[in-house]
Structure 1
């Protein structure tokens, strides 16, 4: 049944949409530390919270404490024939989600209680409900633990990128000072264009995924085949600076071509190639860190477009880069590369667990 009792008692925790990790049913903070006197729907342990505003965001929670659901929540409580742990899984099922997403409103769509409450759902006997609830609880715990591991790896990677490149962390066998260079001294701008139309695969540079094939990334071709003769040729291990800014790349990403093939990129990108003075993987991780941001902010121009960072090529080439001896470059590159390999493997494992959960939700709730 649906609970409507409200409370503004600031002595009990409040839960808002912003406190819930979407689709995971977990809190992203200790809500007991929040100061909030807003009125909300009173809930008890084992109640189920379902976010009815924009239900496709999948904000739900199975709390183990007393609290207030502040905002557009339904608070659902199991009856004598329904176990609460099964109810929590039921609201995640494709059938429930389909009905809940038959919403009212366009700008601020909300699930319609009349539609959901008048929909029939198959409910097994309680012994089966309990086993289903336990199964999904194990999967949710496994998903949460794997995500926590990924988050921890991200923090380790961030710390390594900072401290290895500011030289506060060194391998014990190295003590020589790093030598200063300008980017233009250790790299060369790629000016080769696809004038003979030898290459037809257009690349794009994603902050998250690196250099990828444009057609598969956007699910369509953005470039015009007739204009590819003016595009730059990007060979294996070439670097590309994409001036488009994003939350994860506030001045635009620089990424290395690791596709093991040659393609082309728009002249809007700056393409450059490492000389023998620098180990390409070392330079790749230099640009994955933030030590070069200050130079960009100090020397960038104000662009006409707010989604792009503007800096002249000749200025970009004046960026200071400190280099250790080649063997230390290789060691730093190998360390970070191995860490990213483990991170990618853990991310793949997480996706497989999520796929198993989604498959079970489809097959067990028909």
Structure 2
């Protein structure tokens, strides 16, 4: 007998299922073969783009104990310089400690974003709770990031980060570090550098804490950052913008195909 989790072999043989004529079966099977092939193709393209991005991160940036990257854009020859992250930013702010501050959530107000809301280089506001702007007006300057700021997950979930490209307002929670680059620093380049360090598991060496692991803000200030002149930074940043756009586009195609397959499975079978 069926119990909701498994079915015996003898019961399986006695299942009474409905089937269309063979010609229709063939057409349906051929359609899903095409969709499955397209999904496989898009998955390969997505994997190739991600591999290309990883390769570019490794080739276009300076390795430790080196002054020059392996690959370089034409007409750039000077050595890269090294400094600490703290020397390139105006400020670093940890987000609101909602437990210690005993904040009260509300139905209206601005969303408060957690580290889990940073996904694939963007922000997902779904599931976020809200804080009243009037009640927490003293939090506005410190805990509401601005366009161009970098948000870095440094508590619990370590490494995901995003650079803000619009003016939407929201609060940041305790497990996000708000990095405010100096006006003359290319924020996109800085964000890509953080991606590179994360891909090399650099932050794992800085972890501290017991139950919840985190990277200390002072350790973040001391991060070694290698950088070139502003024009080369811009070229590198623009390249990765295009790669990220293509990766997002490819991911959307894959999602659409998977959604289409699910829809047709529901509509073409009884």
Q: Would you say same fold, with TM above 0.5?
A: yes
Distance apart, 1:208 and its partner CA? 2.8
Distance apart, 1:149 and its partner CA? 0.6
* Equivalent residue pairs, number: 249
The answer to whether the aligner puts 1:138 opposite 2:34 as a matched pair is yes
From 141, 146, 152, the counterpart of 1:235: 146
Residue-by-residue CA offset, 1:269-317 (whole Å, 9 max, x unaligned): 221111133211111111112378565344x253122xx4333322210
Task: With a CA cutoff of 8 Å and minimum separation of 6, indicate the structure with the bigger relative contact order.
Answer: 2
Structure 1 pair 129/301, CA: closer, same or farther in 2 (3 Å)? Answer: closer
What is the rounded CA distance, in whole Å, between the counterparts of 2:262 and 2:246 in structure 1? 24
Name stretches of at least 5 consecutive residues in structure 2 with no aligned partner.
63-68, 97-108
From 174, 178, 181, the counterpart of 1:271: 178
Residue-by-residue CA offset, 1:155-176 (whole Å, 9 max, x unaligned): 1011111111121111122111
1:209-358 aligned at under 5 Å gives the runs 209-212=120-123, 214=125, 216=126, 218=127, 221=129, 225=132, 230=139, 232-245=143-156, 251-290=158-197, 296-298=203-205, 300-305=206-211, 308-358=212-262
The answer to whether the aligner puts 1:359 opposite 2:255 as a matched pair is no
What is the rounded CA distance, in whole Å, between the counterparts of 2:72 and 2:237 in structure 1? 13
3-state SS of paired residue (1:170): coil
Structure 1 pair 271/118, CA: closer, same or farther in 2 (3 Å)? Answer: same
From 81, 89, 100, the counterpart of 1:187: 89
CA RMSD of aligned residues (A): 3.2
Q: Bigger radius of gyration, 1 or 2?
A: 1
Residue 212 of structure 1 contacts residue 259 of structure 1 at CA under 8 Å; is this kept in 2? Answer: no
3-state SS of paired residue (2:254): helix
What is the rounded CA distance, in whole Å, between the counterparts of 2:254 and 2:199 in structure 1? 32
What is the rounded CA distance, in whole Å, between the counterparts of 2:17 and 2:137 in structure 1? 55
What is the rounded CA distance, in whole Å, between the counterparts of 2:3 and 2:85 in structure 1? 52
What is the rounded CA distance, in whole Å, between the counterparts of 1:128 and 1:245 in structure 2? 52
Structure 1 pair 341/191, CA: closer, same or farther in 2 (3 Å)? Answer: closer
Residue-by-residue CA offset, 1:31-53 (whole Å, 9 max, x unaligned): xxxxxxxxxxxxxxxxxxxxxxx
The answer to whether the aligner puts 1:204 opposite 2:98 as a matched pair is no
Residue 243 of structure 1 contacts residue 310 of structure 1 at CA under 8 Å; is this kept in 2? Answer: yes
| More moved, 260-269 vs 202-211 | 202-211
What is the rounded CA distance, in whole Å, between the counterparts of 1:170 and 1:273 in structure 2? 28
Residue-by-residue CA offset, 1:147-200 (whole Å, 9 max, x unaligned): 111011111011111111121111122111111121011112255999xxxx62
Structure 1 pair 120/332, CA: closer, same or farther in 2 (3 Å)? Answer: same
3-state SS of paired residue (1:255): strand
Find runs of 4+ consecutive structure 1 residues off by over 3 angstroms: 110-119, 190-194, 223-231, 291-298
3-state SS of paired residue (2:264): helix
Other-structure match for 2:4: 102
Residue-by-residue CA offset, 1:63-114 (whole Å, 9 max, x unaligned): xxxxxxxxxxxxxxxxxxxxxxxxxxxxxxxxxxxxx9921xxxxxx45556
Give the TM-score, by structure 2 length.
Answer: 0.79
Name stretches of at least 5 consecutive residues in structure 1 with no aligned partner.
1-99, 104-109
More helix by share: 2
Residue 255 of structure 1 contacts residue 284 of structure 1 at CA under 8 Å; is this kept in 2? Answer: yes
What is the rounded CA distance, in whole Å, between the counterparts of 1:187 and 1:290 in structure 2? 17
Residue 136 of structure 1 contacts residue 357 of structure 1 at CA under 8 Å; is this kept in 2? Answer: yes
Other-structure match for 2:101: none
Residue-by-residue CA offset, 1:238-274 (whole Å, 9 max, x unaligned): 112212455xxxx432322234322211234221111
Distance apart, 1:212 and its partner CA? 2.3
What is the rounded CA distance, in whole Å, between the counterparts of 1:192 and 1:297 in structure 2? 19
| More moved, 256-265 vs 152-161 | 256-265
